[in-house]
Copies of this chain bind each other. A is one copy, B any other.
């Protein structure tokens, strides 16, 4: 039996929850029934007022923290979730899930389509952030959580948190939006489209029905990940990390990787290509593209956010050029205009967009302080075991 660090939630296990109330989607289709893969840490208090929802980003999932049996690598946000960590599992009941359309156990393209007996593949309905939030609200019902202490997310996860505040104003007390944006820019969409073209034009994609062919569009996924990875890092960060370091120490005149950065990207791309589902990647990038909560409010984000009742914490990172601090300030400005309570922190960091996953001291301290304030807000009379 392994021992785990003291500030780890330790050994964890996910659970699959089945839902059979039909879910009407933005695309006009309906999921008659669906599965959500969920993981929780900490204890829900007596009146279910200490629950925190963690929404995941493009390639994330329910395994947020702790270890699976035999794993040496913990969940994707283990740096922020655990006993004594910013999202303190001694205080909060923390819920992670894999979103619908995902490839980590929730209903998605890999699931068998009852109508055909084959995997849905590209016939799985395209999802939107509002669809996910709706499914997360039903998850909250199932868990007995009428109101989240906080909904928290980075990047695409932050978009879900923002959507929660608009769609279910009375169901969250705090909304934490990290390294996110109120909608994608043309450049963001363009990079997504390169990734989609790389995947869908890979002959091994078979129009999305590669499962039946026993094939995987590895090249497409590799390219998608390489492009994505560049946009997650900053120019400065890459300079610090790789510079022009050469693998062989000197120039070689062939097409083998010459510089360290080439090998690194190839390795990242190849690893990803065997670990992630191509149809899910396409679906997730489309959900990013579609997100635009201001659209149904006359393109005015402040009007959309006037509905919110939560308090907001917005965090951005100085060298993030995927969702730059400017994009976070758009959210802050809209919140101020909507007369909402908002804290904003712009964290100085060389790590680009990736910074939101990295335990940068100033980031962690700020985050911890805000989470402490949320913990202090939990109604005293109702804290379970005090």
Contacts and interface: CB of A to CB of B under 8 A. Distances in A.
A187 B238 contact: yes
A238 B189 CA distance: 10
A282 B201 CA distance: 20
A22 interface: no
Interface stretch (A249-257, A340-348, A361-369): A249-257
Given A26-B253, A200-B255, A189 B244 contact: yes
Nearest to A191: B230
Given A126-B253, A253-B126, A266-B197, A189 B259 contact: yes
A138 interface: no
Nearest to A226: B194
A255 B223 contact: no
A286 interface: yes
A125 B185 CA distance: 41
A243 interface: yes
Contacts of A333: none
B27 A259 contact: no
A43 interface: no
Contact of A244 (B184, B193, B219): B184
Interface residues of A, number: 55
A48 interface: no
A189 B262 contact: yes
A196 to B, nearest CB: 7
A241 B227 CA distance: 22
A223 B198 contact: yes
A289 interface: yes
A183 interface: yes
Given A187-B238, A189-B244, 17 more contacts: A122-B255, A126-B253, A186-B238, A186-B239, A186-B241, A190-B230, A193-B226, A193-B261, A193-B265, A193-B266, A194-B223, A197-B226, A197-B269, A198-B198, A202-B219, A255-B282, A258-B286
